[in-house]
Homo-oligomer: A and B are copies of this chain.
């Protein structure tokens, strides 16, 4: 296990310390909790947004705390959703009269823990609602499963919902926008190498030198299948093909998000982006904006995901609104 860490059981605490030291103008930590909030929380006159999940996906979610995006982020243990009392503390720290919207990725654990936190906060008369992000088309959307996972598309929910909350809109309005993003965002990824949860000390699975796992989750959960390594273009064709099968993007405009899982260099992400644009151009789908980089990582896994968000005028305007967070700035 080649990691730059001190103690596998202490990584989250040290991560949060390092983040606060790096970004003191944006964020502060709730003393005694694994929670980052905006420096001046609670911010008056707006619905507060709280997200979170297991750690190991940095910059998600703490890196997106700041103006125009989240008010609070809760960091669970690596790949483990945070506990209800941590989420509850975050909610209390950021809540104002307009209430709090929780942005939860669709995992059983996350949903249960965030729901319990919601119940705790409601007992304190805090207005709380939540949305569940489920953008990963690798998982079949059958009523017989837990449904789709939430992956990199979550960052676009943060961005756009954050912009809406910044306007001072009421909780149901903010929730409506979040749900519109969720309804229009789809993602799929693949992995070339596994990753190692520090406390586990060894990889969840192994892949042969010429193999990749298609439809991989961001926690090393197995994907839809394994196959031999292909060219970048073939990989992208498959992922984007699945996304386009799932939602009708015809004639629309999209935000493209090419997300690196960690070890895949930016060079390769741009090569991916090139192909995404080629495919979309060939289908007459217009690219409004592109994001290429690491937004929702998976420890040191190699691989990437592609996300397409279908836009309307409202989403475009909110996407373009300014944001100032450690990991996402838009002028």
Q: Please report the C-alpha to C-alpha distance between residue A304 and residue B5 in the assembled complex, in whole angstroms.
A: 12
Q: Is A135 an interface residue (CB 8 A)?
A: no
Residues of B within 8 A of A231 (CB): 5-7
Residues of B within 8 A of A193 (CB): 2
Q: Is A152 an interface residue (CB 8 A)?
A: no
Q: State the number of copies, please.
A: 2
- Given A19-B270, A21-B290, A266-B294: A4 and B232 within 8 A (CB)? yes
Cβ 8 A contact of A297, one of B209, B265, B270, B277: B265
Residues of B within 8 A of A2 (CB): 192-193, 209, 212, 229, 302
| Sampled A-B contacts (13; CB under 8 Å) | A4-B269, A6-B271, A7-B231, A14-B232, A14-B274, A15-B270, A17-B270, A21-B287, A58-B265, A58-B267, A263-B300, A263-B302, A266-B297
User: Footprint of B on A, CB under 8 Å?
Assistant: 2-7, 11, 14-19, 21-23, 55-56, 58-59, 63, 192-193, 209, 212, 229, 231-233, 235, 256, 258, 262-274, 277, 287, 290-292, 294, 297, 299-300, 302-304, 324, 329-331
A18-B271, A63-B266, A264-B300 known, 18 other contacts, Cβ within 8 Å: A2-B193, A3-B192, A4-B271, A4-B303, A5-B231, A15-B270, A17-B274, A18-B269, A18-B274, A19-B273, A22-B273, A22-B290, A55-B267, A262-B265, A263-B263, A263-B300, A265-B300, A331-B331
